[in-house]
């Protein structure tokens, strides 16, 4: 039976804006208060989905979360009608309103950690939605992501959904952005690499931590996911991030390494003890792993963060006699002389399977700190499992055309944080999401839809 790596891309929401809410994400903070283009951002993401779909890559779309999050405003003490809540929040602290309007759910690499049925003891696909407690604007995604994934993958014969990990600093979980799977091919059993920024227990341990920016993923969270997902310990490796790299802007591991099947492209400064991590991967794997370690003298961590080279999607090309891979890289890689030369040399080197690169304009996402790999959650599925999931989110040309038209109909081409107080924006967002659920064949998944049904 065929196994496909389904790339589930987050659809950019209509309230996409630049508020600089993500500490440690240099692109996010440096572009704070810039004018965003929600319409352009959504079209850029749809264009990426269209490119991969036409190459024969299995694609699905994840709808945006409800924004503004009126319940979060209520939790923060802003009561009354929605417009009253919005006005109070803006006058009290505009950053709180920005958090409630955040479209960060577009970066679905943070939505969850997924383990395929080939690797789990009970032979089901396991999901754990990330709690994302490190940031106010992201922690609000956890419960809805959990419910949405349960809705999309609802057949208990094939899918197992675990509760979100406890929302504490001890079990801080940032999802698949800190998880990689290595295998001979997607249909074979794989090795799982969990990368963490800190060990939280015991309190006061001597583990080195970054000094400038927070470490987000904990070892305790990664270990809990591996246990819950029934991953055999001999197929799991835990690796500590280099705290110096975190302080240079490597807030997630997918900013400094990327894996696909048996190929691992990684920066030499990614891990605290790089040689030990790579040796453990080689020793535990029951298959050959090709590791391309990029030296810090060749490409600095700063250049990697600026270009998002390692946040490229690394994808196996379908229907080829010999395994070939391609990079889906942000345009910033092409515009960076040193990075462009590195990619050219990588493609020219026949000793590795990477044979081509596609540079995409994802500027709207990049300016908020998310590249191609941030925008997708990888879900390996058998043909049976693929058929058992909700079919309405699976990409085809007709759906992409409909989504492009939907964006043109509902999205603004300019949005600034000061525009969030506009009372019309609430209705614009809710009207768009209401129509989207019909397009994707979903039920009333959003709180405002359920409240409307109850009140009527």
Assigned domain for 151 exists: yes
Token representation of residue 316: 């196996």
Amino acid 204: pLDDT:
73
Q: What's the pTM?
A: 0.96
Residues with a catalytic annotation lie at 174, 252, 374
Assigned domain for 291 exists: yes
Assigned domain for 94 exists: no
What beta strand segments (E) does 32-166 contain? 59-62, 112-115, 125-129, 159-162
Cα angle: 395, vertex 114, 372; to 5 degrees: 55
Cα angle: 8, vertex 406, 390; to 5 degrees: 35
| Inter-residue contact 43 to 144 (CB < 8 Å) | no
Side-chain-side CA neighbours of 109 within 13 Å: the count stands at 21
Nearest to 97 by CA among 37, 134, 138, 137: 137
CA 38 – CA 417 distance, rounded (Å): 12
Assigned domain for 384 exists: yes
Assigned domain for 90 exists: no
SS3 label, residue 310: helix
CA 374 – CA 22 distance, rounded (Å): 14
Q: What is the pLDDT of residues 287-313, one digit of tens each?
A: 999 999 999 999 999 999 999 999 999
Instruction: Tokens 């209401």: give the residue.
Output: 434
Assigned domain for 74 exists: no
CA 58 – CA 49 distance, rounded (Å): 9
Other C-beta atoms closer than 10 Å to the C-beta of 448 total 17
Amino acid 22: pLDDT:
84
- Do you know the residue count of the chain? 456
Side-chain-side CA neighbours of 276 within 13 Å: the count stands at 8
Per DSSP bridges, beta strands 179-183 and 190-196 are: antiparallel
Nearest to 372 by CA among 9, 2, 78: 9
CA 185 – CA 323 distance, rounded (Å): 9
Q: How many domains are there within the chain? A: 1
Domain range for 318: 3-67+102-455
Token representation of residue 84: 């009253």
Instruction: Tokens 């038209």: give the residue.
Output: 405
Q: Which residues pair with 162 in a beta bridge?
A: 128
The per-residue pLDDT string of the chain (456 residues; one tens digit each, 9 = 90 and over) reads: 799 999 999 999 999 999 988 888 887 888 889 999 999 999 999 999 999 999 999 999 999 999 999 999 999 999 999 999 999 999 999 999 999 999 999 999 999 999 999 999 999 999 999 999 999 999 999 999 999 999 999 999 999 999 999 999 999 999 999 999 999 999 999 999 999 999 999 877 777 889 999 999 999 999 999 999 999 999 999 999 999 999 999 999 999 999 999 999 999 999 999 999 999 999 999 999 999 999 999 999 999 999 999 999 999 999 776 789 999 999 999 999 999 999 999 999 999 999 999 999 999 999 999 999 999 999 999 999 999 999 999 999 999 999 999 999 999 999 999 999 999 999 999 999 999 999 999 999 999 998 876 655
CA 39 – CA 375 distance, rounded (Å): 16
Assigned domain for 85 exists: no
Token representation of residue 234: 């001999």
- Look up the CATH number of the domain holding residue 264: 3.75.10.20
Assigned domain for 250 exists: yes
Sheet holding 313-316, edge to edge: 313-316, 325-330, 354-360
Angle between helix 82-92 and helix 94-101 axes, rounded to 10 deg: 130
């Amino acid at each position: 039976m065929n196994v496909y790596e389904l790339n589930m891309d987050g659809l950019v929401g209509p309230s996409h804006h630049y508020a600089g809410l993500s500490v440690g994400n240099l692109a996010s903070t440096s572009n704070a208060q810039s004018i965003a283009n929600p319409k352009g951002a959504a079209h850029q993401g749809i264009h990426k989905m269209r490119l991969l779909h036409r190459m024969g890559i299995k694609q699905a779309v994840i709808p945006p979360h409800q924004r503004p999050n009126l319940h979060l405003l209520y939790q923060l003490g802003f009561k009354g009608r929605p417009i009253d809540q919005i006005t109070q929040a803006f006058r009290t602290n505009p950053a709180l309103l920005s958090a409630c309007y955040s479209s960060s759910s577009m970066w679905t690499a943070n939505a969850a950690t997924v383990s395929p049925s080939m690797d789990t003891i009970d032979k089901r696909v396991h999901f754990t939605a990330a709690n994302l407690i490190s940031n106010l604007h992201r922690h609000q995604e956890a419960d809805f992501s959990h419910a949405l994934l349960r809705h999309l993958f609802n057949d208990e014969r094939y899918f197992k959904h675990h509760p979100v990990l406890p929302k504490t600093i001890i079990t801080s979980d940032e999802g698949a952005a800190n998880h990689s799977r290595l295998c001979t091919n997607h249909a074979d059993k794989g090795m799982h690499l969990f990368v963490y920024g800190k060990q939280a227990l015991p309190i006061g341990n001597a583990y080195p931590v970054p000094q400038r920016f927070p470490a987000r993923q904990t070892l305790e969270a990664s270990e809990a996911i591996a246990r819950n997902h029934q991953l055999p310990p001999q197929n799991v490796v835990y690796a500590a991030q280099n705290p110096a790299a975190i302080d240079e802007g490597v807030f997630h591991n997918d900013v400094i390494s990327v894996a696909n099947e048996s190929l691992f492209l990684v920066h030499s400064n990614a891990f605290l003890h790089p040689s030990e991590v790579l040796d453990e991967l080689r020793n535990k794997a029951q298959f050959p792993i090709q590791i391309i370690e990029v030296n810090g003298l060749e490409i600095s961590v700063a250049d990697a963060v600026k270009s998002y080279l390692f946040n490229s999607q690394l994808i196996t090309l379908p229907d080829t006699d010999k395994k070939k891979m391609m990079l889906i890289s942000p345009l910033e890689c092409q515009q960076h002389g040193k990075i462009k030369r590195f990619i050219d040399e990588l493609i020219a080197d026949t000793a590795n399977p990477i044979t081509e690169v596609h540079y995409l304009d994802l500027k709207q996402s990049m300016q908020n700190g998310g590249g191609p790999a941030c925008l997708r959650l990888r879900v390996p599925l058998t043909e049976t499992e693929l058929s058992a999931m909700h079919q309405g989110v699976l990409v085809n040309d007709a759906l992409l055309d409909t989504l492009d038209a939907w964006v043109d109909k509902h999205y603004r081409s300019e949005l600034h944080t000061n525009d969030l107080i506009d009372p019309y924006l609430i209705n614009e967002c809710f009207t768009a999401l209401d129509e989207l659920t019909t397009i994707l064949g979903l039920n009333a998944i959003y709180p405002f839809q359920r409240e409307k049904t109850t009140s009527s």
